[in-house]
């Protein structure tokens, strides 16, 4: 397994020091799902690599566990706050037909250790959908889009409702969208007018949203959170699970495809056919009400994307401004009558 990983320090995640200590982590894992480890015990455990660290919030790690001289990999997430709710939500989703044996599934939730605020889950091998969508082969992209759409349609149809309720009006009344537009204006004035215009149109659109049946929500459903394994489509990252208008998850996926097309292929419309396959597949298999408020949620997502593009480290300043302007234009476009998301 090579050298030990250098421990990561984050004062807000005090348990990290113990997770990075092989002996300390082993003590915590004794007795956790012992039947899973080839007959009841393991010989060694260690952190293999840091996957993603959100300072002062959480840290995702790959953890190696050795039984009978064979290494097994798990994914661990250390949280700042107690997140037993995530473990319980994942268990509920698995029982609804998204277990490791199912074609459409989530990573198996293995254990939650309250003392470390550590969630342990199955490591699923396979390409992340984002990498598949980067290909210029339209046929390959279409197959991936169909799998992602079928997963989401099944989830919205079958998954239990759990977690906080996210109302469409929250996008405006919570002042989140207003903060986004003000942030854009502060960072780069030349996009401020488009951001303000989009915000005003979202406020107008919010007043005429239709009431629909709320469904189980993922909240971050994009090609980054989907593994297209052999014979199995797996969606991970359940920290934001909630109950919401199903259009929210659909819109975020479509906007993510447009953003990926813009950055990778040079135009937000370069994956129009892929977007069409995803949307048509979802609407044929999922709840029909997801189409009702779709353009509102798509436009709100584009405003969010513009803010994140400008705030996060990434491309050169000129490129970031170009991308932000393009996604603001998409937000304005989708609110036009008869526009497609």
The per-residue pLDDT for range 269-279, each reduced to its tens digit, is: 999 999 999 99
Q: Which residue has the higher pLDDT, 176 or 219?
A: 219
Q: What is the pLDDT of residues 249-263, one digit of tens each?
A: 999 999 999 999 998
Other beta carbons within 10 angstroms of residue 288's beta carbon come to 10
Q: What is the pLDDT of residues 29-83, one digit of tens each?
A: 877 755 565 545 788 899 999 999 999 999 999 999 988 888 889 999 999 999 9
pLDDT for 39: 46
Closest by CA position to 58, among listed 238, 256, 222, 307:
238
pLDDT for 180: 65
Other beta carbons within 10 angstroms of residue 94's beta carbon come to 18
Tokens of 170: 């929250």
Tokens of 151: 């997963």
pLDDT for 297: 95
Task: Mean pLDDT check: name the lowest of 77-81, 150-154, 157-161, 203-207.
Answer: 203-207
Check the CA dihedral 39-40-46-48 and report its sign. positive
**Average pLDDT of the chain, as a whole number:** 90
Q: What is the pLDDT of residues 302-326, one digit of tens each?
A: 988 988 887 776 667 778 888 888 9
Are 217 and 239 within 8 A, CB to CB?
A: no
For the stretch 32-40, contacts whose Cβ atoms lie closer than 8 Å and that sit 24 or more positions apart, written own/partner, are 32/110, 32/111, 32/113, 32/120, 33/110, 33/111, 36/110, 37/65, 37/67, 37/72, 38/67, 38/68, 38/70, 39/67, 39/68
H or E stretch at 323: helix 317-334
- Pairing outcome for strands 242-244 and 165-166: parallel
Tokens of 335: 């609110």
Residue 257 φ/ψ region, left for φ over 0, alpha for ψ in the -120 to 50 degree band, beta for the rest: alpha
Q: Which residues of 134-148 are buried (b: 16+ CB within 10 A; e: fewer)?
A: eeeeeeebbebbbbb
DSSP percent split of the chain into helix, strand, coil, nearest 5: 50, 20, 35
Q: What is the pLDDT of residues 187-206, one digit of tens each?
A: 666 677 888 888 889 888 88
């Amino acid at each position: 397994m090579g050298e030990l990983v250098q421990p990561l320090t984050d004062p807000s995640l005090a348990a990290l020091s113990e997770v990075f200590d092989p002996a300390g982590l082993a003590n915590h894992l004794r007795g956790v799902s012992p039947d899973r480890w080839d007959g009841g015990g393991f010989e060694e455990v260690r952190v293999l690599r840091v996957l993603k660290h959100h300072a002062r919030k959480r840290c995702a790690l790959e953890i190696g566990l050795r039984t009978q001289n064979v290494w097994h990999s798990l994914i661990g997430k250390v949280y700042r706050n107690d997140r037993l709710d995530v473990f319980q939500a994942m268990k509920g989703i698995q029982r609804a037909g998204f277990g490791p044996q199912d074609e459409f599934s989530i990573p198996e939730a293995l254990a939650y250790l309250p003392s470390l605020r550590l969630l342990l889950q199955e490591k699923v091998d396979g390409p992340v959908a984002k990498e598949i969508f980067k290909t210029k082969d339209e046929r390959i992209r279409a197959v991936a889009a169909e799998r992602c759409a079928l997963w989401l349609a099944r989830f919205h149809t079958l998954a239990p409702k759990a977690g906080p309720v996210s109302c469409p009006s929250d996008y405006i009344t919570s002042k989140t969208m207003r903060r986004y537009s003000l942030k854009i204006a502060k960072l780069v004035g030349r996009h401020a007018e488009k951001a303000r215009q989009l915000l005003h149109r979202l406020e107008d659109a919010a007043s005429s949203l239709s009431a629909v049946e709320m469904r189980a929500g993922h909240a971050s459903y994009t090609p980054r959170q989907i593994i297209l394994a052999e014979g199995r489509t797996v969606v991970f990252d359940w920290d934001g699970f909630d109950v919401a208008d199903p259009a929210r998850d659909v819109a975020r996926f479509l906007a993510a495809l447009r953003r990926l097309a813009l950055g990778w292929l040079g135009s937000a419309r370069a994956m129009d056919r892929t977007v069409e396959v995803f949307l048509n597949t979802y609407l044929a298999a999922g709840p029909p009400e997801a189409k009702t408020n779709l353009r509102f949620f798509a436009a709100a997502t584009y405003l969010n994307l513009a803010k994140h593009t400008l705030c996060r480290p990434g491309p050169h300043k000129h490129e970031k401004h170009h991308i932000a302007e393009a996604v603001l234009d998409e937000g304005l476009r989708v609110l036009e009558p008869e526009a497609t998301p």
